[in-house]
């Protein structure tokens, strides 16, 4: 009976101190998820930039302002996607202990939850902007176009961040299980 706590401590100590081959699938999946997340966001950004440019040339009234706002969001989203991709490549190159992996996992989850909160705020701000068009007669088309665009961005980003949060949580369960079993 005396050996069980010592053995349990020793096993946990070893698994925390040294990376093991059983963590390679976790690392690969985490990096893959982050790169796919960045890729989806970059694809969305390119669609926003392309449609923003094309539609702003031909659109009128609220669709013109909708297109302009999508163009702006496309530029912002492409910058965020580039940062996520760069950050993923940078962190993937480092050797990590289980503790560092758990900290990184928690960091990613917190960032996705924060992003989801911001996404909800974008939807609400988009609704407020849209409502402004009926409250303020000046620039009604601007309010309506910007409101729809911001709301649309918020909905897409909320869906994306929620999906990748759940995927990262699922992958994180492998890390916890590995650290207990190892």
Q: Could you read off the pLDDT of 37-77 as tens digits, one per residue? A: 899 999 999 999 999 999 989 888 889 999 999 999 999 99
10 assigned to some structural domain: no
pLDDT confidence bin for 116, thresholds 50/70/90: very high
CA–CA gap between residue 57 and residue 51 (Å, rounded): 10
d(CA 162, CA 38): 14
Assigned domain for 42 exists: yes
Question: 52 lies in a domain?
Answer: yes
Within a domain: 15: no
Q: Give the lowest-confidence range in 45-59, 90-104, 138-152, 153-167.
A: 90-104
Any domain includes 99: yes
Q: Is residue 128 part of a domain?
A: yes
Q: Taking 80 as the threshold, does the pLDDT of residue 151 lie above it?
A: yes
In a domain, 4, yes or no: no
Angle CA(71)–CA(77)–CA(83) in degrees, nearest 5?
A: 145
- Is residue 11 domain-resident? no
pTM of the entire structure?
0.76
Q: Cα(29)–Cα(20) distance, rounded to whole angstroms?
A: 15
Domain that holds residue 43: 27-181
User: Are 64 and 139 a contacting pair, CB within 8 Å?
Assistant: no
Q: What is the mean pLDDT of the chain?
A: 81
Per the structure, the count of domains in the chain is 1
């Amino acid at each position: 009976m005396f050996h069980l706590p010592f053995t349990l401590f020793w096993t946990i100590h070893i698994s925390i101190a040294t990376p093991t081959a059983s963590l390679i699938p976790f690392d690969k999946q985490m990096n893959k998820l982050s790169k796919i997340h960045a890729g989806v966001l970059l694809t969305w950004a390119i669609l926003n930039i392309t449609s923003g440019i094309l539609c702003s040339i031909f659109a009128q009234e609220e669709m013109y302002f909708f297109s302009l706002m999508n163009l702006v969001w496309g530029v912002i989203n492409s910058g965020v996607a580039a940062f996520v991709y760069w950050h993923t490549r940078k962190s993937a190159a480092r050797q990590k202990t289980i503790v560092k992996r758990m900290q990184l996992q928690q960091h990613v989850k917190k960032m996705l939850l924060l992003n989801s909160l911001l996404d909800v705020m974008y939807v609400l701000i988009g609704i407020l902007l849209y409502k402004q068009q009926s409250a303020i007669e000046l620039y009604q088309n601007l309010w309506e176009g910007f409101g729809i665009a911001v709301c649309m961005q918020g909905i897409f980003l909320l869906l994306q961040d929620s999906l990748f949060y759940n995927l990262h949580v699922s992958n994180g369960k492998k890390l916890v299980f590995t650290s207990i079993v190892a």
